[in-house]
């Protein structure tokens, strides 16, 4: 396992190339999310399953996230931002620069089972999820370290992007994923998954998943970035009509 990986380009083509051989269902595709405007969001074909956000991880935004981390009280805490509920798959990130691939795992391994949008049952990802379900997030990371398919998929995807591979791999951007979860009270919630954080974060209600993610991104990322525009968003959703 390399000590430092080449980061993935924030490209739907790269994400689809990474995911299709590993179990991405034919009913879904990764596509650019160019705007948070509610009118634009209506054109994104349903179902809306996940949003991946690339953001500047330093400066005022990074400081705000550090403060938010301090509010986290664990998966069963009575207060704070910690996720309280079952059914959200989460893994810690232990491989530097693998946040794009970790984000893809968080998007794909939280797809519903027994539905048209489920992972291909004999795929690498479905088998990995089944093997990992009984493990803790850090144990899942160890299992992932030993998975040859993950290294191969990341390396191949990193080489298919349009951007030149950077000489300096100490990047200052980071991928996270938003999915919809149901908490212990049966309420639909917007859940942020970041392998570098304390655990899944409950970011508020999910009445309309895509619109609610857009609100979180605007208020907790764009508005805290102090003018930095180094953002990119990709949504996992239904196929656009031809």
Question: Domain of 186: which CATH number?
Answer: 3.40.532.10
Record the tokens describing residue 98, joined without a space. 């693998």
Decide if 1 is inside a domain: no
Distances (CA, A) of 157 to 51, 57, 68, 193: 19, 22, 32, 21
Confirm if 54 and 232 have CB atoms less than 8 A apart. Answer: yes
Does the structure show a pLDDT above 90 at 9?
Answer: no
**The domain containing residue 182 runs over which residues?**
12-75+85-238
Decide if 115 is inside a domain: yes
Decide if 177 is inside a domain: yes
In terms of Cα–Cα distance, which of 143, 141, 168 is closest to 7? 168
Q: Which residues are catalytic?
A: 99, 174
pLDDT digits (tens, 9 = 90+) for 19-71: 999 999 999 999 999 999 999 999 999 999 999 999 998 888 888 888 888 77
Decide if 47 is inside a domain: yes
Consecutive H or E run containing 217:
helix 209-220
Does the structure show a pLDDT above 80 at 219?
Answer: yes
pLDDT digits (tens, 9 = 90+) for 73-124: 544 444 445 677 778 999 999 988 889 889 999 999 999 988 889 999 999 9
pLDDT at position 78, please? 41
pLDDT at position 199, please? 87
Does the structure show a pLDDT above 70 at 1?
Answer: no
Please list the helix, strand and coil fractions of the chain in percent, rounded to the nearest 5, in that order.
35, 20, 50
pLDDT at position 210, please? 97
Name the domain count of the chain. Answer: 1
pLDDT digits (tens, 9 = 90+) for 152-192: 887 777 777 544 444 444 568 899 999 999 988 899 999 99
Decide if 39 is inside a domain: yes
pLDDT digits (tens, 9 = 90+) for 121-140: 999 999 999 999 999 999 99
State how far the Cα of 226 lies from the Cα of 223, in Å rounded to an integer: 7
């Amino acid at each position: 396992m390399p000590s430092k990986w080449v980061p993935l380009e924030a490209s739907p083509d790269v994400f689809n190339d990474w995911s299709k051989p590993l179990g991405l269902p034919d009913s879904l595709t990764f596509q650019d999310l160019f705007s948070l405007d509610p009118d634009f969001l209506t054109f994104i074909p349903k179902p809306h399953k996940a949003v991946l956000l690339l953001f500047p991880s330093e400066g005022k935004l990074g400081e705000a996230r550090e403060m938010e981390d301090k509010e986290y009280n664990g998966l069963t805490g009575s207060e704070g931002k910690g996720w309280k509920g079952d059914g959200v798959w989460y893994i810690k990130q232990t491989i530097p620069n693998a946040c794009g691939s970790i984000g893809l795992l968080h998007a794909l391994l939280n797809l519903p089972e027994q539905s048209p949008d489920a992972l291909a049952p004999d795929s690498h990802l479905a088998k990995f999820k089944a093997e990992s379900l009984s493990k803790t997030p850090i144990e899942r990371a160890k299992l992932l370290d030993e998975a040859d398919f993950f290294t191969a998929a990341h390396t191949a995807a990193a080489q298919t992007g349009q951007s030149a591979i950077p000489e300096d791999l100490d990047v200052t951007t980071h991928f996270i994923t938003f999915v919809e979860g149901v908490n212990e009270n049966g309420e639909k919630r917007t859940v942020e998954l970041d392998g570098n954080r304390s655990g899944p974060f409950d970011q508020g209600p999910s009445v309309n998943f895509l619109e609610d993610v857009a609100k979180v991104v605007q208020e907790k990322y764009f508005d805290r970035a102090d003018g930095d525009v180094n953002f990119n968003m990709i949504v996992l959703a239904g196929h656009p009509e031809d």
